[in-house]
Amino acid sequence: MMALVADIGGTHARFALADAAGEIGRSVVLATQQMGTAGELITQALKMLDAEVPERICLAVAGPIRDGRVRVTNHGAVFDSAELGRTLSTSVLLVNDFVALAHSVPHLRNLRQIGGDASPAAHGVKALIGPGSGCGMAMLVPIAGQYRVLPSEGGHADLAITNALEAELWASLSRRVPHVCWEAVLSGPGLVNLYAALCEVWGVQPGDLTAAQISAAGVDVADPICHQTLELFFGFLGTAAGNLAVTTLATGGVYVGGGIVPRLKEFAVTSPMRRRFDERGMLTEVVRQIPLYLVLDDLPGLAGAARYLTQQPLD
């Protein structure tokens, strides 16, 4: 039995066909901002994949699922499983994108470990965080020899500041965004927010730069403000990941996914991320044992959606 799986965020919507074992085939990518209705998006993806409407569709969407409906947090598009099922005459399941991604964690093959003085605990909690169009989180809790995935909207928890510079940045951010949460700095739009706030602290006029341009200039050290923006970004990411590690006692490891960090993997290794991850006061020695991984697999969100689907009963 073939199924259609999707990973739909605020920027891209990725689709692939999956078999009954949860293995995915060829994928296609559509721009989320250019899509019409949810049904039209799926129909276009099936056309690009040269496929008929399958027996099952699983959509991993960036947003909390409530009563079979989800609104893409950073886009506004609404997906309704019952409505889509009627429109397409098939079974449609919705799942949060990071819940889907978490289902791929036990099967990941391309990980890069950054620090950690011990191997992951065989039956320890695993935690997942990832900046992309937003900032997603999820946990995997071992129960009876298997992992149960718990959803989270921790990216919308209040931003934690740890020094005087970050306090100044928070003040600037509070004038730019309605809620200074982790996602306000740990996302594509957040990287732009952070750059603008740092420019204000430095007393210079910010350039009209995209997140990709800020990243490129920061990696090449072509612009000192862009470089410091990236350093701050990874410092905040380390703090957020460390908070998640102690909140869940993630002795099974913390995994960093999303669309931004894999493209900056070399910068991540030398950045303040691991140091800030470890800075846990009385629990520093405990957290230093926890491995921190970069998720570098191709299309882990689609793979996770396919794995999630294999665990759901047939209608």
Residues 6+ apart with CB under 8 A from 62: 8, 9, 10, 72, 73, 74, 75, 96, 97, 132, 133, 134, 136
Same domain, 32 and 63: yes
Q: pLDDT tens digits, the chain, 315 residues: what are they?
A: 689 999 998 778 999 999 988 999 999 999 877 767 888 889 999 999 999 999 999 999 988 899 999 988 666 678 999 999 999 999 999 999 999 999 999 999 999 999 988 788 888 999 999 999 899 999 999 998 899 999 999 999 999 999 999 999 999 999 999 999 999 999 999 999 999 999 999 999 999 999 999 999 999 888 999 999 999 999 999 999 999 999 999 999 999 999 999 999 999 999 999 999 999 999 999 999 999 999 999 999 999 999 999 998 876
Same domain, 170 and 29: no
Same domain, 116 and 88: no
How far is Cα 93 from Cα 57, in angstroms, rounded to an integer?
6
Same domain, 135 and 35: no
How far is Cα 166 from Cα 5, in angstroms, rounded to an integer?
40
Same domain, 85 and 142: no
Residue at 171 is within a domain: yes
Q: Domain boundary at 45, 71, 96, which?
A: 96
Residue at 309 is within a domain: no
Same domain, 114 and 70: no
How far is Cα 41 from Cα 39, in angstroms, rounded to an integer?
5
Same domain, 159 and 239: yes
Residue at 158 is within a domain: yes
Q: How many domains does the chain have?
A: 2
Residues 6+ apart with CB under 8 A from 203: none
Residue at 183 is within a domain: yes
Same domain, 135 and 284: yes
Same domain, 194 and 279: yes
CATH number, domain of 81, equals 3.30.420.40
Same domain, 177 and 284: yes
Dihedral angle, C-alpha 150, 156, 161, 165, nearest 10 °: 140
Domain range for 85: 3-96
Same domain, 90 and 114: no
Instruction: Output Rg (C-alpha) for the chain, integer angstroms.
Output: 20
Residue at 84 is within a domain: yes
Q: Is 113 helix (H, G, I), strand (E, B) or coil?
A: strand
Residue at 308 is within a domain: no
Backbone angles phi, psi at 16, to 5 degrees: -160, 160
Taking the whole predicted model, whether its pTM rises above 0.85 is answered as yes
What 8-state DSSP symbol labels residue 288?
A: T
Residue at 253 is within a domain: yes
Q: Which amino acid is at 95?
A: V
Same domain, 87 and 132: no
Residue 156: burial class (beta carbons within 10 Å; 0-12, 13-18, 19+)? middle
β-partners of residue 127 are 139, 254
CATH number, domain of 165, equals 3.40.367.20
Residue at 83 is within a domain: yes
